[in-house]
Amino acid sequence: MEEIKLGKIEKLIIHYVGNKNNGDGVSFSEDFSAFEGTEELLENMVTNCLKSEEIFQFYFEPTLDLNPVYQFAKSIFQRLDSFVEQSKNIARYLYDNSTHPHIKGGELCLIFIKDCQIGVELVDCIGLFKSENKDAFLKVNPTPNGFDLKDEKGINPQKLDKGCLVFSMDKEDGFVVYSLDNTNRTTEARYWRDDFLSIQPQKNDYQQTNQFLGITKQFVTKQLGGDVEYSKTDQIDLLNRSVEFFKTHETFEKEAFEKEVFQDSELINSFRSFDQKYRSENELNFSDNFEISSKAVKKQARVFKSVLKLDKNFQIYIHGDRKLIEKGVERDGRKFYKIYYQEES
């Protein structure tokens, strides 16, 4: 995605959305909220949503047009004078999906931003922000004899709980959507993206790179992890070779990746079977040839373990040639690793 320059915040409305399972209800605003003097803080909330490299789009089965939030957003982009009405519809729909006991009630802020620039294109943006947790702060009040402190709670724009930005481009594909969720990361409580927004990652270079490295990691650690033929050292070596391939190539070709990383024909066939099954079970559909995203590689490389832990005594970081480390067993049953090197540093 090209660089995004935010436009002017023109409208803001706030509703309260509780937990439906608890019968909290919804409290609506009937008119727009005043925000003069808070523009910079609101822009910080919006910017936090843009920090993620992952871009989403609305979807729904069997057809995109059945996605409620997509329809509400489309109506706002078509007729801005429907903003208050559609914001209430969005709040009602969020309430209907707020049934998990872990979900907290909170303020739902809806913002309309005019004339954002994405590349050379000018587009509008709708921002949805829900605040579930409040930060405590001390307010200083002047008195005739000095100052008093009062404990108050409010929304911290730097610690946004949930956010979503919908840009008015690629309408037929489900718009361009950014999402942020810093709470309720467990599967049963991911209602914001899955149940409420119903969004899925766009099929771009970042997403494809991220997904394929994820599949490779699952294959090496889960499938080969239970195979006695593949020790921890062998697994680390395969993970290192996988990341190295993505770091040293600009484009990805699956067949070339398999030959360079896995090398052995039986291992390649095993990976292909795992890859096909994993994509089918997780409903992943992407090409076997794509441009590699360096940002996705950098992100995934952080979670590719290259540390060999031996009891509680040693940790060996393996970054290079697998042939320089050998595993063996003494006659008395003690296990050992032999490491070859040229110089200390």
Q: Residue 267: its pLDDT value, please?
A: 92
Give the best-scoring range by mean pLDDT among 181-185, 234-238, 239-243, 256-260: 256-260
> Has residue 235 got a pLDDT over 80?
yes
Q: Are 161 and 133 in contact (CB under 8 A)?
A: yes
What is the model's pLDDT at position 315? 62
Mean pLDDT, the chain, rounded, equals 86
Q: In this predicted model, what pLDDT tens digit does every residue of 77-127 receive, in sequence order? A: 999 999 999 999 999 999 999 998 888 899 999 999 999 999 889 999 999
Amino acid at 252: F
Which residues partner with 12 through β-bridges? 111
What are the residue ranges spanned by the domains of the chain?
A: 4-201, 205-339
pLDDT tens digit sequence for 195-213: 999 998 887 888 889 889 9
Q: For the chain, what percent of residues have pLDDT higher than 90?
A: 48
pLDDT of residue 59: 93
pLDDT at 242 over 50: yes
The pLDDT of residue 276 is: 92
> Tens digit of pLDDT for each residue in 52-63?
778 899 999 999
Structure tokens at 237: 């070596």
According to the model, what pLDDT value does residue 245 have? 93
Average pLDDT on 253-281 reads 92
